[in-house]
Amino acid sequence: MAISEYKYLSAEQRAQFLEQGWVKIPQAVPPENIARFTEDVWIRLGFDPNDKATWTKEKIHMPRHREIPTKDFMPKAWGAMCELLGGDERIDKTLFESCGDSLIVNLGTEEWEDNQVDPKDLGNWHMFTHFLDSGEQGLTVIVLFNDIKPRAGGTYIAPDGISNVIQWLYEHPEGADVFAQDPDGSRSICSIQSCTNFVELTGEAGDVVLLHPFMPHSASKNHLRIPRFITNPPVTLKEPFNLNRENPLDYSLVEQKTLRILGVNSLPDWHIKGERRRFTPRTRAGKDAMIMEEVARMKAHALKTGRPVDSMHLNGPVPYQVVIG
């Protein structure tokens, strides 16, 4: 069923998404939720926020200790997500229904304080996909937990790279993983070197950026070394994207963007040639290994301050849901 009234996305935001494949929802997370998920981040890391010499890692993918249902954690962003995906009834709320404090940290290094890098050479360009119609990662979601200035480790996106990905997946109904290349290795799925439009995502704590799932994106260098904290909570559809709807008004904005790039109104003859699968992200093992290290630091801090430990893993690691992407 088509969305009859947009309550969260303005006409300008909808037009931007259809043109550029992304939109920012300002102040989408209430300040108290940002505070709860970041209040003990330095304790968990084991670093001194005032002593860069203790920052022994540039980038850290932290495990989750706390979680809040997405619609409660960031109601404005949740509303926009539902509108981009064609309504909340299309979202699988039995999977990844919450946002957690699995912060992605970018502290930078001394090496990059005075050096520059072309976005094409960042070396970490990727997107979440398997088939052209895969709905396992309905959107790429970026939640900002601190103010992010230019050159301070914000995510880079390549809006014109969406076309490369969509065309590749259209031509390869057998699907792909995130690092797929043509059999002769001549072309990556992103074809990032052919892109000319690069956007550095900056903003304020509480902002949420919503990307088309085929948007190439990359971590950047934190030249200013202002600690940067974000998360990428997933959102999954009950069914794959439908690129051949009987009623064109039922296409979601994400589906419209995909079809617009291909220059068609529907894909009646396109079908996948492979098995649908789910993936565990490459960062999962590293996160799991950090759980009890972080809990130990939190417990030690609790003994000193008398404050309770706020972690689902207090009595041992709690298994996560199977993660896709």
Report the C-alpha dihedral over residues 105, 65, 97, 178, rounded to 10 degrees.
40
Quick check: 74 and 99 in contact, CB under 8 A? yes
Residue of higher predicted confidence among 151 and 276: 151
Q: Tens digit of pLDDT for each residue in 197-242? A: 999 999 999 999 999 999 999 999 999 999 999 999 989 999 999 9
How much of the chain exceeds pLDDT 90, in percent? 77
d(CA 122, CA 51): 27
Report the alpha-carbon angle 189-12-139, nearest 5.
35
Distant-in-sequence, close-in-space partners of 49: CB < 8 Å, separation ≥ 6: 42, 227
Quick check: 288 and 249 in contact, CB under 8 A? no
The two structure tokens encoding residue 228: 């940067």
pLDDT at res. 212: 97
The β-bridge partners of 106 are 59, 228
Using a cut of 0.85, tell me whether the model's pTM lies above it: yes
The two structure tokens encoding residue 176: 């792909």
Please say if the pLDDT value at position 185 is more than 60.
no
Looking at this protein, which amino acid is placed at residue 212? H
Q: Tens digit of pLDDT for each residue in 252-266? A: 999 999 999 999 999
From first CA to last CA, the distance across the chain in angstroms is 27
pLDDT at res. 96: 74
Q: φ, ψ for residue 106 (rounded to 5)?
A: -130, 110
d(CA 157, CA 138): 17
